[in-house]
Structure 1
Amino acid sequence: MTSTPYRKPFFVSYLSRALPLVALLLALPVHAQEAEVPAVVPKPVKLMTLSSEPVTLQRQFFGQVTARQTVDLAFQVGGQLEVLNADEGTSMEVGALIAQLDLAVYERAVAQAKANFDKAQRDADRLASLRGQAVSDVSVRDAQTQLQLAQIALDNAQADLGDASLRAPFDALVARRLVPNYQTVSAGTPVVRLHDVSELRVDIQVPEVLFRQAGAGDNVAFEAALPGDATRYPMELREFEAETSNVGQTFNITMAFTESPGAFVFPGASVTVYASAEGKVPDGIILPETALVFDPAGAAAVMVFAEGTVRQTPVEIELHEDGRLYMTEGPEEGTQIVVTGASQLSDGQPVRPFTRIGE
């Protein structure tokens, strides 16, 4: 009789294989088996401080540095350039020679005009001495006319000789050479561009509404900030265009630095202009509509910020004739509340003050 081999029961075989895995799981730390609870991230919010003091209104504009004036110098006569003393980025004192044409042709013209004038002078003197004898009065007057024409021709030749040289009309900064040296130029062709940087200015575009408000009072202060420079430089209003631009209904306003903004600030540099003005003293604490939260019964409240959380606090409000909401009862002055998005917060929710984008 053949004997049947002994086989372990299935559950015994399975248990013998599973025991090492169970022992490994039991050996793991307890905290590894527990589910991690996500941390609550405070929501960034914009805050305002309750106050009945006058609010400083501030606006920010972007503009460019400009020179007091910019001119393109050109000869009033034509010829070949012989001198071009205009290295870009250099300063030139008033009266300094910047460019000059070949003067030989103009010097010859002056010499010829001078010779013609001398001859006309001799002829006029000779005929005047013979008047009443062999020379008529008409001949004398004709000689005097020729003398006058010779004088005009001499003056024109000397003026052309002077126009063959260009000199700095003011203490200037050479911005750009517009033609190369030794090139033949015609009258009126720009040769060099000069900036008058005796006073640096800034042009900004101001909307019509703000322009009227600024013109209504003299308590508007202007400051300028340059890229990479934390200093704010005071500015003064110099002039404005008395008509709006074709697009945007804005006025072009020109400001001037009252003190030097430092070296290497040239026309074309970008600048930010801050305009600030003291507002009127309010009749109480003004609340923006975005700071209000209403319950189903219509009662108003604000979200008060304290110690990293917000608490919903009831307030009493009134709508005045100026269209603003004034708080008659509620938190005291100096309390910080959420100014925008208060309706999206819940009582006791962790928040943090919003400072800038990206934080």
Structure 2
Amino acid sequence: MQVYAAPAAIASLLFAVSLLFAAGLLLAGRAGAEDGARVQDGGVPAVKVVTAEAAGAFETRSFFGRVRARETVDLSFEVGGRLEILDAVEGDRVDRGSPLARLDQAPFKRAVERAEVTLRQENRRFERAAKLMQSSAGSRVRLEDAETSRDLAAVALREARDDLEDATILAPFDGLVAERLTPNFTNVEPGRPILRLHDMSEVRVELDLPERLLIQAGDPAQIRFMVRMPDQDGAVAVRFVEFHAQTDRVGQSYIVTLAFPDAKSVFLVPGASVTVIAELPAPKAGLVLPASALLIGPERNASVLVLETSEGGLAGLAVLRRQPVDVRSRTGTRFLVTGLPEGAEVVAVGGHLLREGQAVRRYTRLVVEER
């Protein structure tokens, strides 16, 4: 599906642009052309020429992007206690598995010791009940009760050991410490956030892609993205990850997520701004011309002045021919025309001051007349 600007809108835009070009570039060009005409050919105007070229394979657009982490999580303890060590400095990078915070270990170690003692006691009771059962001095019910008590003591020991392990927060991934949320030596409850950690195992970039460009591309995975970081000349190729398949209510845009191929090759923090360069597939039909080369008629129809070689005239002269064209534009700054052969020479600026059939000379350089 192709989305183009309305013909009336294009015509109005071209008319305004042509006036701006005529007010600046043409006046200088005509002055140089008239001076050159007096020296070279006695009054034949010189015109600046542009060649109609095929559109490139891609259209380049630039967007504002913002760096973000793969995930941002608030870490907390699964058990309660007194926060003894919070070994996490904001802004530091941490490796997966490194300790970040720890509760006072003494109560949890004592709980493990009690559970171990209880388990040993229940094991002895179970062994006595088993011997009595074998000698017919005890009942099976007593043996089963002893076995149940032993199993419960084993479960309690595992829970005590898990609580001891949960009293220490380890980094779940290679990350960046974003914020300390709880001060040291504070009694904390289970689930209370202790610190915020960015998952920097994959550095990502988000941008708002306008709706019309997404429709033009069809599939955002077909768009080639590059990221240019501040104070760096080159751009880094990034890959498409996903896009939020719901448009923004105000800007009619979709949030597109990109990712750097190597997270360790760049040092970026979440929230940093970057420039995202998107290369979108360009339409195959049409030739590229500047807005100043397009002429708008009274009925809002577009045309150009084409240079044709003058037969039987002076060498280097050409005759102007008006050629109607169809104009398309997706962005309002890039115009594609149909109705011209590729390589056609067209008056680049000031065509509204010329007429069809007029003889002109190609303007190639300024001519200085010495007196």
TM value normalised by structure 1: 0.70
How far is 1:109 from its partner?
1.0
Query: In the alignment, which residue of structure 2 is the partner of 1:111?
Result: 113
CA displacement at 1:51 relative to structure 2: 1.3
Give how far 1:296 is off: 6.2
Residue 240 of structure 2 is matched in structure 1 by 237
Secondary structure of 2:340's partner? strand
Q: Which amino acid aligns with 2:230?
A: P
**Stretches (4+) displaced over 6 A:** 296-299, 320-324
The equivalent of 1:87 in structure 2 is 89
Distance 2:113 2:50 in 1: 82
317-326 or 218-227, which deviates more: 317-326
Q: Which amino acid letter does the alignment assign opposite residue 268 of structure 1?
A: G
Query: How many residues end up aligned between the 2 structures?
Result: 294
CA deviation vs aligned residue, 1:256-311 (integer Å, no higher than 9, x gap): 123569664211101121111342322x536688853246699865489xxxxxxx
1:137 equivalent to 2:149? Answer: no
Q: 1:220 to 1:189 in 2, by over 3 A?
A: same
Please identify, of 125-134 and 211-220, the stretch whose mean Cα deviation from structure 2 is larger.
211-220
| Residue among 302, 322, 336 paired with 1:315 | 322
Match of 1:118, SS? helix
Structure 1: distance between partners of 2:205 and 2:303: 45
- 1:188 is paired with a residue whose SS is coil
5 Å-filtered alignment, 1:187-336, equals 187-216=190-219, 219-259=222-262, 264-282=267-285, 284-285=286-287, 292-294=294-296, 301-302=303-304, 314-319=321-326, 325-328=337-340, 332-333=344-345
One-letter amino acid of the counterpart of residue 240, structure 1:
F
Q: Which residue of 2 aligns with 1:128?
A: 130
In structure 2, relative to structure 1, the CA distance for the partners of 1:195 and 1:281 (3 Å cut) is same
User: What residue is the counterpart of 1:63 in the other structure?
Assistant: 65
Q: Unpaired segments of 5 or more residues in structure 1? A: 1-40, 305-311, 349-359
Larger radius of gyration: 1
1:14-51 alpha-carbon deviations (Å, 9 max, x no partner): xxxxxxxxxxxxxxxxxxxxxxxxxxx97269x98631
Using the alignment, how far apart are the partners of 2:166 and 2:51 within structure 1? 68
What secondary structure, in the 3-state scheme, does the structure 1 residue paired with 2:53 have?
coil
Contact 1:286 1:327 in 2 (8 A): no
CA contact (8 A) 1:315 1:330 kept: no
Report the 3-state secondary structure (helix = DSSP H, G, I; strand = E; otherwise coil) of the residue aligned with 1:228. coil
CA distance in 2, matches of 1:285, 1:229: 34
Tell whether the 8 Å contact from 2:241 to 2:259 is kept in structure 1 after alignment. Answer: yes
Shift of 1:178: 1.4
CA contact (8 A) 1:244 1:250 kept: yes
Give the residue type in structure 2 aligned to 1:43.
G
Partner amino acid, structure 2, of 1:195? H
Q: Which amino acid aligns with 1:315?
A: R
- Cα separation, 2, equivalents of 1:157 and 1:248: 54
On the 8 A contact 2:302/2:327 being kept in 1, the answer is no
Contact 1:97–1:168 (CA under 8 A) maintained in structure 2: yes
- Asked whether the equivalents of residues 72 and 190 of structure 1 are also in contact (C-alpha less than 8 Å), the reply is yes
- Find out whether 1:102 has 2:104 as its counterpart: yes
Any conservation in 1 of the 2:206–2:258 contact (CA below 8 Å)? yes
Equivalent position to 2:150, from 135, 147, 150:
147
Q: Aligned partners of 1:296, 1:245: CA distance in 2, in Å? A: 39
* C-alpha contact (below 8 Å) 2:96/2:174 kept by paired residues: yes
Partner in structure 1 of residue 41 of structure 2: none
Amino acid at match of 1:328: L
Greater mean deviation of Cα atoms: 290-299 or 63-72:
290-299
Percent identity between matched residues is: 37
Query: Per-residue deviation at 1:230?
Result: 2.7
The 3-state SS of whatever aligns with 1:149 is: helix
Map 1:11-90 → 2, pairs under 5 A: 43=24, 50-54=52-56, 56-90=58-92
Give the structure with the larger helix fraction.
2
Corresponding position of 1:11: none
Stretch moving more, 216-225 or 285-294:
285-294
What's the C-alpha RMSD, in Å, of the aligned pairs? 3.7
Matched residue, 2:159: 156
CA distance in 2, matches of 1:217, 1:88: 36
1:175 to 1:114, Cα distance in 2 relative to 1, 3 A: same
171-180 or 47-56, which moves further after superposition? 47-56
Give the aligned residue type for 1:64: R
Q: Secondary structure at the match of 1:89?
A: coil
Report the more deviating stretch, 324-333 or 169-178.
324-333
- Give unmatched runs, 5+ long, in structure 2: 1-21, 27-48, 307-318, 331-335, 356-371
Greater relative contact order, per chain length (Cα 8 Å cut-off, separation 6+) = 2
